[in-house]
Amino acid sequence: MKDLNRVIDQVVREKGIDREVLIDALEQAMATAARRQLGNRNIEAQFNEETGQVEILEYMTVVEDVEDSYTQISLQEAREKYDPECEVGDELGIPLEFRDMGRITAQVAKQVIIQKVREAERELIYNEFIDRRGEIINGIVQRFERGDIIVNLGRTDAVLPHSEQIRSENYRQGDRIRALLLKVQKESRGPQLVLSRTHPDFVKKLFEAEVPEIREGIIEIKGCARDPGERAKLAVMSHDPDVDPVGACVGVRGSRVRAVVQELKGERIDIVVWNEEPALFAANALSPAQISRVLVDEERQTMTVIVPEDQLSLAIGRRGQNVKLAAKLMGWRLDIITEQEARRREEERGKMLQLPGMDPLKVALLGRIDVHTQEDLSKVPIPKLCEALGIETEEAELLREAARKAFEAELIAATSQEQEGAEAEPEEPQPESPAEEAAAGTEEDAAEEPPAQE
């Protein structure tokens, strides 16, 4: 290849590859090829811009007397053949020629250009999609690989892993598909694009596409929790008091939310108002259930939510779905109990406070290890009790023993009360046998019969 300048300029112009990067790769590849031909010598390759050729140079040290002909050159020869001004100790680059150099140069140039073009295209694709992470991508189902779906995006392919697919959805080759661009990873064979249809951000982006107020920043999505394909909860707030965030997301006659539900193949979506007060946010997040009151533990990020008896199953939801999504949406642990259970716990708390050495702080600390009653306390291992309350073994043993005695005394008292109640109940008269009933009836009839007339 006589002049590489023209080829290099064309590749730079058409593929957008940096000229210096291409020349550097060409020089390195030619140096490697020359070493294969000439052995492991001090060889470098340099591209000559004027001639458009890659020159192979062997660097040798200028000396008075040559001891190693592979690494040294005499001062006389160096001045006569290469550089009249060189001195002893200089490193001199001597041009080399080797067999088939022209053919090898052409092959190397072709390989380097192909490789760099591929790398450049991969880099362009990576740079194009790295800025689109978190956006919705449209593609066509191309093929299936071990449960994963390979999606054609036009210039490249993406993968929708089995773990990021909604269980109830089925696709065929050629189907159009929308998904969230979850990851863009650099790999040796090119950028790996990972899609998701189960990520909460997919729902957020779908609403962003349907609701102009979200795109304009009037309404903000504060959080989203999903059971993909089944149900989702979306927390929203409005920066404009005149705009209802829930109504805006639902749309006229439900048009906006319906479009999102259709894309998610029927996934139910609860849209709730976000509130900076955890208790109020919990009440909203657990909708449609009605909440009586909420006990908040800020330090542990837990809440005890008290509901009427008839609202318990609604608050928990089918398979615990409602409370799980609400907890995930808030990032808190939620404990749902009925009003009756709340009263029972309050009674038990009062009994716990009656134990010697007990105080409200200790009761609260015991609650963190799920110890709520005297019976619970009587069964706690001593090391666990010491750790929970920060007390010594002796004090823990006394406390546990006091709880055991109090619980046993209460149990005995309750048993005695049941027995006394049973004894105080009056005996019900035993029913008469059919024969006795018949005889009694005959006697009564005879007594009531009037005397006969003569």
Of 227, 230, 237, 198, give the one whose Cα is nearest residue 325.
227
From the options 3.40.50.1110, 3.10.450.50, 3.30.1480.10, 3.40.640.10, give the CATH code of 5-126: 3.30.1480.10
Cβ atoms within 10 A of the Cβ of 4, count? 22
CATH code 3.30.1480.10 region(s) in the chain: 5-126
CATH code 3.30.300.20 region(s) in the chain: 202-274, 275-337
Fold for the domain defined by 354-417: DNA polymerase; domain 1 (1.10.150)
Compute the average pLDDT of residues 139-152.
95
Q: What angle do CA 198, 200, 206 make, to 5 degrees?
A: 90
Residue with tokens 């349907």: 210
- Structure tokens that stand for 84 in this block: 């009249």
- Structure tokens that stand for 170 in this block: 């089925």
Taking the C-alpha atoms of residue 60 and residue 92, their distance in angstroms, rounded to an integer, is 5
SS3 140: strand
Q: Is the pLDDT of residue 257 over 60?
A: yes
Using an 8 Å Cβ cutoff, are 176 and 152 in contact? no
Render pLDDT for 110-141 as a digit per residue (tens, 0 to 9): 787 788 778 878 888 888 899 999 999 999 99
Compute the average pLDDT of residues 357-365.
89
Using an 8 Å Cβ cutoff, are 178 and 169 in contact? no
DSSP 69-114: TTTEEEHHHHHHHT-TT--TT-EEEEEE--TTHHHHHHHHHHHHHH
- Percent of all residues in the chain with a pLDDT value above 90, rounded to a whole number: 49
Render pLDDT for 362-406 as a digit per residue (tens, 0 to 9): 998 898 888 888 889 999 999 999 999 999 999 999 999 999 999
Terminal-residue alpha carbon distance, the chain: 157
Residue with tokens 């009836």: 441
Taking the C-alpha atoms of residue 99 and residue 194, their distance in angstroms, rounded to an integer, is 49
If you classify domain 133-196 with CATH, what class do you get? mainly beta
Q: How deeply is 112 buried, as exposed, middle or buried, from its count of CB atoms within 10 A (0-12, 13-18, 19+)?
A: buried
Question: What kind of architecture, by CATH, is found in domain 202-274?
Answer: 2-Layer Sandwich (3.30)
Poorest-pLDDT segment among 133-137, 311-315, 353-357: 353-357
Using an 8 Å Cβ cutoff, are 156 and 126 in contact? no
Fold for the domain defined by 275-337: GMP Synthetase; Chain A, domain 3 (3.30.300)
Mean pLDDT of the chain: 86
Chain center to CA of 416: 56
Q: How deeply is 422 buried, as exposed, middle or buried, from its count of CB atoms within 10 A (0-12, 13-18, 19+)?
A: exposed
Amino acid at 449: E
Taking the C-alpha atoms of residue 23 and residue 4, their distance in angstroms, rounded to an integer, is 10
SS3 430: coil
Residue with tokens 């009564």: 444
